[in-house]
């Protein structure tokens, strides 16, 4: 179970309350930046010495969220994508991907596997499902005309010292 409250982030009975490092990245919503975003986030998370799988999970989840901002959030133009990565103690990472685009009118429906509003462009409708599969928690906050914030939380496994 995942909780975010003023105690901190609770992932599987562990409470992580102290941020030990943080990064902010702003990128225009150009598709060439999908690769940039996932590489930069993966690089920043590398300080926790995650496994190769965990890094690949982060890259994939970030790629999905950033792609959504580009394809859907800013579908009619180019806007700014704001990415904030926070590394907490207890090996928890929180990544917020925010856009100020069109917003999602029905978040529950958007999160259904295979649902897409852009089938003609071969969107599979699996973005949120993939994020959920590779992260411990995915939260989506959105307002029509204001934008969307996707919050990914992942706790990396313990490493032998």
Partner 1 sequence: MIGKRECNFEVSAKEGTMTVIFDGEIDHHSAVLVRSEIDAKIYELRPKRIVLDLSHINFMDSSGLGLVMGRYALAEKLGAEFQIINPTERALKIFELAGLGRIINVKKEEKK
DSSP 89: G
- Which is catalytic among the residues 33, 84, 111, 123? 123
Q: How many CB atoms lie within 10 A of CB 46?
A: 11
DSSP 69: I
8 vs 50 by CB, closer to partner 1: 50
- Concerning whether 64 is annotated as a catalytic residue, the answer is yes
Stretch that binds partner 1, among 77-85, 88-96, 114-122, 144-152 (CB under 8 A): 114-122
8 vs 127 by CB, closer to partner 1: 127
Stretch that binds partner 1, among 15-23, 27-35, 83-91, 97-105 (CB under 8 A): 27-35
Q: How many CB atoms lie within 10 A of CB 108?
A: 9
- Concerning whether 123 is annotated as a catalytic residue, the answer is yes
Distance between CA atoms of residues 127 and 11, nearest Å: 22
Task: For residue 35, state whether it binds partner 1 (rule: CB under 8 A).
Answer: yes
- Concerning whether 89 is annotated as a catalytic residue, the answer is no
Give the strands of the sheet with 137-143, arranged side by side: 19-28, 80-88, 92-99, 147-155, 137-143
Distance between CA atoms of residues 43 and 67, nearest Å: 19
13 vs 122 by CB, closer to partner 1: 122
Distance between CA atoms of residues 66 and 83, nearest Å: 9
Strands 2-5 and 8-11: antiparallel
Smallest distance, partner 1 to C-beta of residue 153, A? 19
Choice from 9, 16, 41, 42 touching partner 1 (CB under 8 A) = 42
Which active-site residues does the annotation give? 64, 68, 123
Query: Site residues (CB under 8 A) for partner 1?
Result: 31-32, 34-35, 38-39, 42-43, 56, 59-60, 63-64, 67, 70-71, 113-114, 121-124, 126-127, 129-130, 133
């Amino acid at each position: 179970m995942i909780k975010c409250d003023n105690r901190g982030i609770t992932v599987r009975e562990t409470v992580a309350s102290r941020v030990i490092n943080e990064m902010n990245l702003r990128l225009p919503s150009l598709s060439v930046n999908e690769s940039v975003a996932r590489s930069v986030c993966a690089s920043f998370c590398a300080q926790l010495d995650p496994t190769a799988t965990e890094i690949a999970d982060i890259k994939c989840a970030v790629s999905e969220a950033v792609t959504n901002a580009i394809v859907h959030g800013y579908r009619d133009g180019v806007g700014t994508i704001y990415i904030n990565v926070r590394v907490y103690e207890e090996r928890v990472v929180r990544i917020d991907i925010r856009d100020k685009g069109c917003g999602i009118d029905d978040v529950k429906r958007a999160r259904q596997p295979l649902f897409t509003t852009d089938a003609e462009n071969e969107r599979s409708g699996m973005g949120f499902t993939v994020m959920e599969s590779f992260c411990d928690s995915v939260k989506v906050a959105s307002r029509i005309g204001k934008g969307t914030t996707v919050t990914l939380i992942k706790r990396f496994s313990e490493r032998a010292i």
